[in-house]
Amino acid sequence: MNTRILFVKRPVGWVDESCFAIEQGPEPVAGPQDVLVQALYLSTDPYLRGRMNDGPSYAPGFTLGQPVVSRVVGRVIASNNTGFAVGDYVWGFLDWAERVVAPRGEGLHKIDPSLGPVSLAISALGMPGLTAWVGMMELGKPAPGDTVFISSAAGTVGQLAGQFAKRAGARVVGSAGADHKVAYVLEKCGFDAAFNYKEHDTGEALRELCPRGVDVYFDNVGGTTLEAALGHANVGARFPVCGMISAYNLTEDRGIRNLQMLLSKRITMTGFIVGDHVHKLPAYQARVAPWFARGETVFAEDIVPGIERAPATLIGMFNGEAIGKRLVQVAEDSGR
């Protein structure tokens, strides 16, 4: 039997387990040109909350009664497609299921296991890693001696963006929502300073921890954190905008009230979406994979085993439990 995780109820406000159902169904069978994938890791991501809503969003909403879909790493266990062989590691946006058919292999991307653990293909060595790279290095452009501030610093993107900035010679300051996350970026990722934004006012923390001002603010949250960063920015600062998660749950945006700082401080704010930069992924992987292999750059994976725990694992991620990339492990595999 094949276990699947279905989305069965649209949440109002906070998500709970009643939104999901665990279903035992028949084993899927690959038809002509199809590829059958054994899931290894399911990705849990903040944007999935938006897909649970019915309203307009930048991604289509989940269908009630159908499986949850997210990035999944797996291994080909049967293939009727010349593009994929049994044993290939792949990732794609796939149903949350132990085994799933990819019709005609469409949407599957091969993973080179020589680059590192295959799970990293959907985090540090995949699009989230490229997000950190493009945002920090191409838009933030940290120079030696610059002060860089990163919100959601212990998140998948934040911890990588901070380490890339450190390699570029910058002083890196992060904010996170829990003391163990603050400790993680300080002790493991080499951040120069960090604070728990739930216990300290962000403006006061920046005044104390960024005495020479902020040259780069890597924005993952928007809202009052962005306002504080605008207030402490230096002339000529760069603000790559990767996310404004603080606005996602609000019916009415309260507004950014000191945007005129852009003018007096000659700040450049740039929104970006990694999908525009996907052609850079091979070069990114080739550049950074050795850093991870040598342990110069670290990345936290928070791997929870058991597909039946996927709903609780996703909900915990929404509640800010995870450090780095939270994955549900569906099966053991020698590729890791």
Residues lying near its own copies in the complex (CB under 8 A): 58, 222, 226, 241-244, 247, 252-273, 276
Closest distance of CB 235 from its own copies, Å = 8
Q: 202-209 and 223-232 helices cross at what angle (nearest 10)?
A: 30
Q: 179-187 and 156-167 helices cross at what angle (nearest 10)?
A: 30
Closest distance of CB 48 from its own copies, Å = 17
Give the Å distances, CA to CA, from 222 to 51, 112, 205, 248.
20, 35, 17, 10
Q: How far apart (Å, rounded) are the C-alpha atoms in residues 137 and 189?
A: 17
Between 196 and 270, CB nearer to its own copies: 270
Residue with tokens 């549900």: 328
Closest distance of CB 224 from its own copies, Å = 11
Between 126 and 243, CB nearer to its own copies: 243
Cα 28 to the chain's mean position, in Å? 29
DSSP element (H, E) containing 245: helix 245-248
Closest distance of CB 164 from its own copies, Å = 20
At residue 106, the 3 state secondary structure works out as coil
Work out the number of other CB atoms within 10 angstroms of the CB of residue 161: 32
Per the CB < 8 A criterion, the answer to whether 197 and 227 are in contact is: no
Between 28 and 135, CB nearer to its own copies: 135
Between 143 and 259, CB nearer to its own copies: 259
Closest distance of CB 240 from its own copies, Å = 10
Pairing of strands 69-79, 66-67: unpaired
At residue 187, the 3 state secondary structure works out as helix
Between 113 and 213, CB nearer to its own copies: 213
Closest distance of CB 134 from its own copies, Å = 11
Between 24 and 251, CB nearer to its own copies: 251
Residue with tokens 């929104």: 271
Q: Which residues pair with 193 in a beta bridge?
A: 173
Between 194 and 228, CB nearer to its own copies: 228
φ, ψ of residue 146 in degrees (nearest 5): -65, 155
Cα 314 to the chain's mean position, in Å? 13
Closest distance of CB 162 from its own copies, Å = 20
